[in-house]
Amino acid sequence: SGRNMARVDIKVVLLGQQNVGKSCLVDRYINSTFDSQQKNTIGAAFAAKRVKLSEDKSVTLGIWDTAGAERFESLSRVYYHGARAAIVCFDVTSSQSWQKLKFWVDELHQNEPNCKVFIATTKCDLIDVEPSQSRPREPQSARGAKAAPPPQRMKRAVLEREVEEYARSKDASVFQTSAKTGMGVESLFQSIAADMGDSIQEGEGDLPSIPPTIRLDGQGDQEGGSASQKPGCCG
């Protein structure tokens, strides 16, 4: 069929409420890009990336980005089945998304007890995570006009201490991230590769090949090309 196939060593799934920025995390990690205007993911999208752990060892992460809309929750369960790692996301400015994170963590513990949970606090560029750290200057427009002033900083909807305490109770790791600035994104995926990679022996893997991506918008799976299928940004 000409469909691109690749071996996956570590199956990773992203879960979380719609619009927390799951797809933006993947886009930043895979393509080093950010687009706030992307549409929500419909169904799920797949991307793969080879990660070097040492001079003589690399692993391939197979990353499943699931739709956040509630009507797709049953489909998300199909995608997290057999995952070694789950990135469960919540928007740092949304208490509702924090409650949804707990829902997904409980789901995973009940149905995939061997799946390691990584909590991603997203959109940290909207708050003052590190006030002492200077931020890059906003670029000027092509005509030389001053760029728009930076957005007003927002407050955390959930205290960092509460997130850390919850993570400890669930044996999960926490990463503060921003797909917009890139903060914490590389270290999140690198940590997954390092933690899970120790248990991967040469020739072993979660999947012998990449299964077709299921889409619910009437579009078929992409033929050939890259192992990365462009997801909608804020699914």
The number of distinct structural domains making up the chain is: 1
| Six-digit token string for 176 | 């503060």
The answer to whether residue 220 sits within a structural domain is no
CATH number, domain with residue 55: 3.40.50.300
Range of the domain at 36: 10-130+153-197
Q: What is the mean pLDDT of residues 86-109?
A: 98
Q: pTM for this structure?
A: 0.77
The answer to whether residue 138 sits within a structural domain is no
Q: What is the mean pLDDT of residues 119-128?
A: 94
The answer to whether residue 14 sits within a structural domain is yes
The answer to whether residue 31 sits within a structural domain is yes
What are 106-109's contacts with CB under 8 Å, separation 24+?
107/15, 107/77, 107/80, 108/15, 108/80, 109/170
pLDDT, tens digit, 9 for 90 and up, residues 48-83: 999 999 998 999 999 999 998 888 888 888 999 999
Higher pLDDT, 200 or 22: 22
Band the pLDDT of 218: cuts 50, 70, 90. very low
Tell me the average pLDDT of the chain: 81
For residue 205, the model assigns a pLDDT of 55
**186 pLDDT above the threshold of 60:** yes
Judge whether 156 and 95 are in contact, CB under 8 Å.
no
pLDDT, tens digit, 9 for 90 and up, residues 35-51: 887 778 776 789 999 99
Measure the CA–CA gap between 64 and 23, rounded to whole angstroms: 10
The answer to whether residue 121 sits within a structural domain is yes
For residue 204, the model assigns a pLDDT of 56
Which of 199, 157, 194, 155 has its CA nearest to residue 173?
194
The answer to whether residue 202 sits within a structural domain is no
Q: What is the mean pLDDT of residues 189-201?
A: 89
The answer to whether residue 192 sits within a structural domain is yes
Q: What is the mean pLDDT of residues 214-230?
A: 37
Angle between helices 95-111 and 73-80 (to 10 degrees): 50
The answer to whether residue 224 sits within a structural domain is no
